[in-house]
Amino acid sequence: MTRLIFAANWKMHLGPEGARKFMEEFMEAYRPQSDREVWFFPSAVAVETVAIQLRDRSDVRVGVQNVFWEQKGAFTGELSVSMAKEAGVTAALVGHSERRHVFGETDEETSRKVTALLEAGLTPVLCVGEKLEEREAGETISVVKRQLGVLEGLDPEILAGIPIAYEPVWAIGTGRTATPADAAEVHSAIRTWFGGRGADTGSVKILYGGSVKVENVHALVSEPDVDGVLVGGASLDPAQWATIASTSID
C-alpha cells in the first residue's frame, strides 16, 4: 500500500509552458518509488499540460487548487468539477488557508466543494490549520476539529479516502515550520477524529504543510503519523522537488 503522498501546491505560479518545462526536468530527476505517490496542484491553466505529460504514470496525480460547487452557468471566473475532470484532474485542494483567509472561504463553502467533488468521483484534499493567535490561545485542536466538521456524516469508507493536509497558518510561506512533534500531535488528534466516525484510521492520509523544505522534510515524514507533505514554495524548483519527493523515511 502507498504509504506517503508528496504533494506540490504551485499556487499562482507556472503557466502551461513553465509547467511543461518543470515536468520534463522533474521526470528526469525523479525515480518512482513503490511506497509513495507524487501529486501536483498546478494553476488551472496548466493542469491539462501536466495531466497529458503524466498520463502513463500511476504514481503521479494531478489536481486543481480550487473548484466551485455548481455544475455550470453564469459564475464568471469559477471552475466546475466536471471541467477539471475533463482536463485530466483526479483531486482538488479544498479549504486551503489562502482560500480561507485571503478570499474569505467559509466552512459552509468548503463543505459544498467537498460534496461536489465526491459526487463526481474526485478526491478532495481538505486543508485545515489554526492561525497563530488560535495556537497561542490553546485552540489548535478545537479549530482543526471544527474544520473537519465539513466531513461529518460521510460514509466511513468514503471518509477514509479523503486526505487531510494539516497546515498551521503561521507556518505557510513564512519559513516557520511546526516541529515534527507538534505536527505529530495534531495528526494524531485528526486520526482519532476519523476513528471516532468509523473510518479505518490506518488508511487515512494526513499530510503536513507549512514551509517544508529539503532540510526539514526527512524529520517530518519519519513521524509515523505524518503520511506525507503538501509543499508550496519548495515545490517550484524541479530538482529541489525531486529531492523532497525522494526523501527516505526511517
Number of separate helices (H) and strands (E) present in the chain:
11, 8
Q: In the complex with ligand PEP, which residue's Cβ is closer, 19 or 212?
A: 212
- In the list 66, 123, 147, 211, the residue contacting ligand PEP (rule: CB under 6 A) is 211
Q: Is 212 in the site for ligand PEP (CB under 6 A)?
A: yes
- In the list 230, 242, 244, 245, the residue contacting ligand PEP (rule: CB under 6 A) is 230
Q: How far is the CB of 131 from ligand PEP (least distance, A)?
A: 14
- In the list 233, 237, 243, 246, the residue contacting ligand PEP (rule: CB under 6 A) is 233
- In the list 63, 210, 228, 238, the residue contacting ligand PEP (rule: CB under 6 A) is 210
71-72-78-82 Cα dihedral, nearest 10 degrees? 50
- In the list 5, 128, 231, 244, the residue contacting ligand PEP (rule: CB under 6 A) is 231
Convert residues 136-175 into a mask of x (bound to ligand PEP by CB under 6 A) and - (unbound): -------------------------------x----xx--
Q: How far is the CB of 242 from ligand PEP (least distance, A)?
A: 16
Q: Is 63 in the site for ligand PEP (CB under 6 A)?
A: no
C-alpha 249/C-alpha 185 separation (Å) is: 19
Active-site residue set? 96, 167
Q: Is 209 in the site for ligand PEP (CB under 6 A)?
A: yes
Q: Cell 505557510 belongs to which residue? A: 172
DSSP letters, 70-129, are SSSSS-TT--BHHHHHHTT--EEEES-HHHHHTS---HHHHHHHHHHHHHTTPEEEEEE-
Strand partners, 62: 40
Q: Cell 515550520 belongs to which residue? A: 177
Residues 11-50 that bind ligand PEP (CB under 6 A): 11
C-alpha 245/C-alpha 116 separation (Å) is: 30
Tell me, by CB under 6 A, how many residues bind ligand PEP.
Answer: 14
C-alpha 52/C-alpha 161 separation (Å) is: 25
DSSP letters, 186-202, are HHHHHHHHHHHTT--TT
Note the residues at the interface with ligand PEP (CB under 6 A). Answer: 9, 11, 167, 172-173, 209-212, 230-234
